[in-house]
Amino acid sequence: MNATKQTPFTSVSLAALLGLGLLAASPVFAKDEKAAQAQEMREADKPMGLVLKELQKLGVKPVAKLSVEEARKQPTPADAVKAVLKAEGKDPVALMAAMKVSKKDMTFPTGGGTQPVRIYTPETSASGPLPAIVYWHGGGFVIADIETYEASAMALAHKTGAIVVSAEYRHAPEAKFPAQGEDAIAAYRWVVENGGQFNADTKRVAVAGESAGGNLAINVAIAARDIKLQAPLHMLLVYPVAGVDTETPSYREHKMTAPLSSADLLWYFDKTLNGPQDKQDPRLDVIGKADLKGLPSATVINAEIDPLASDGKLLSEKLKKAGVEVTHKTYEGVTHEFFGMAPLVPDAEKAQTLAAKELKEAFSGASSTGSTGARKKSED
C-alpha cells in the first residue's frame, strides 16, 4: 500500500492512523476514548445513558476498530434497547405488537438485481388506499438492515396511519457509491408505480431515512425533481449524512462518542467511496454542492451528542435559503440512533410524534388525485 495515500475524507492524520491500525492501539487514544465515553455518559439523559451502558456491557466496539465482517456481526443499539427493556421487566416483542402494524416482505428490481422491501401496514379505520412513506435505514451504507431499524419503521406506520415501505439497498464495500442511491431511486419508483398492490395511495408518497438513509431520502427527492419523476410530498431526514466537511463543530466535538463517532464516520466513508473524487459529488456534498430548489417540505431531526448534528443544522439552513419549508429540531441529551428508542427514551417518542405530525400535514395537503394544497407552517 502506498504510504502517502489518503482516505477519501480528510481529517487526514486521524484517518491515516485508523487506516494503519495505529490509532486504535495507541494507549493515549484508549485513554482519551474512555474519557470521552465518561463525559458522554454524564451529558446523556438517564434513559439514553442506560442504553450506552448496555452497549458497553454487550462489548460493542467502535466500528473504526473493526473489519467490515466484525462490524456487521456485533450487537446494535437496538439490541441494547431490548436488553434494557427486558431488565426493566418489559417485553420488547409485546411492545411492538401493541402498535398493531402488520408486515409483508416483497422485493423490487434494481440495476444490481433485486432488493428486499418490508411493507408495514397500520391497523386503521381509514377507508381506501393509505398514504405511503418510503424509508431507508442507517448504517453508514455498510452495516445494518431492515430488521435493525424495524422499530423506527413500525413507529412511523403506527403514528402516521400511513404504509411504510422499508427498502434495502446494496451495501459497501461490496457495492461502492453511488450504488446505494441508485437502489433508493429504484425503490421509490417501484412504490410510485406498484404501491396499489399493497393498498398504497401512490399519489401521496413521502420519503424518510435515518443517517445514511437520510442522505438517500433527500437525494431521491432531488432525483425525482431532475428526472421528472413524481415528487415526494415530504422529506423526513433524521440525523442525515449531508456533507463532506469533517471539521464541523460536531465532528470536532464528538471524535470518540458512541454509538457513532467522527472516527467511525471516516471508516464508513472509506468503505463506501471509490476515491477522493467522490467528495465532489453533490449527492455526498449535499450541503456544499447540491441544488435544493424546488424540493418538498422537510423535517430534519438531530441528536445533540452526534458528529452529524452540524450536518443537520447546515442542511436545514441551506434548504431554507433555497425556499424549502423546513422544521429543524435538535434533541438534547441523546445520541445518534435515538429515534427508534421510543419505548425507553422519552425524546425518541417526542421526535417520532413531531415527525408524524409533519408527515400527516403533508399528506392532508394532497388529494388522492395528486393535487397539493397549502401545508400548515410548522414551528422551527
Residues whose CB is less than 8 angstroms from the CB of residue 182 and which lie 6 or more positions away in sequence, other chains included? 110, 111, 112
Q: Is 211 designated active site?
A: yes
Cell numbers for 253, please give them.
466535538
Domains of the chain: 92-364 (3.40.50.1820)
Is residue 184 helix, strand or coil?
helix
H helices of the chain, where?
Answer: 12-20, 27-43, 46-57, 68-73, 77-87, 92-97, 150-160, 179-194, 212-226, 249-253, 262-272, 286-289, 309-321, 346-364
pLDDT score, position 277: 97
Exactly one of 11, 152, 166, 211 is catalytic; which is it?
211
pLDDT score, position 37: 58
Cβ neighbours around 20 below 10 Å, total:
12
Exactly one of 261, 311, 336, 347 is catalytic; which is it?
336
Exactly one of 270, 306, 311, 347 is catalytic; which is it?
306
pLDDT score, position 45: 87
Is residue 206 helix, strand or coil?
strand
Q: Is 336 designated active site?
A: yes
Per-residue pLDDT of the chain (380 residues; tens, 9 = 90+): 333 333 333 332 333 323 323 233 333 334 466 655 556 656 788 999 999 999 999 999 999 999 999 999 999 999 999 999 999 999 999 999 999 999 999 999 998 799 999 999 999 888 889 999 999 999 999 999 999 999 999 999 999 999 999 999 999 999 999 999 999 999 999 999 999 999 999 999 999 999 999 999 999 999 999 999 999 999 999 999 999 999 999 999 999 999 999 999 999 999 999 999 999 999 999 999 999 999 999 999 999 999 999 999 999 999 999 999 999 999 999 999 999 999 999 999 999 999 999 999 999 987 544 444 334 344 44
Q: Is 262 designated active site?
A: no
Q: How many alpha carbons fall within 13 Å on the CB side of residue 185?
A: 18
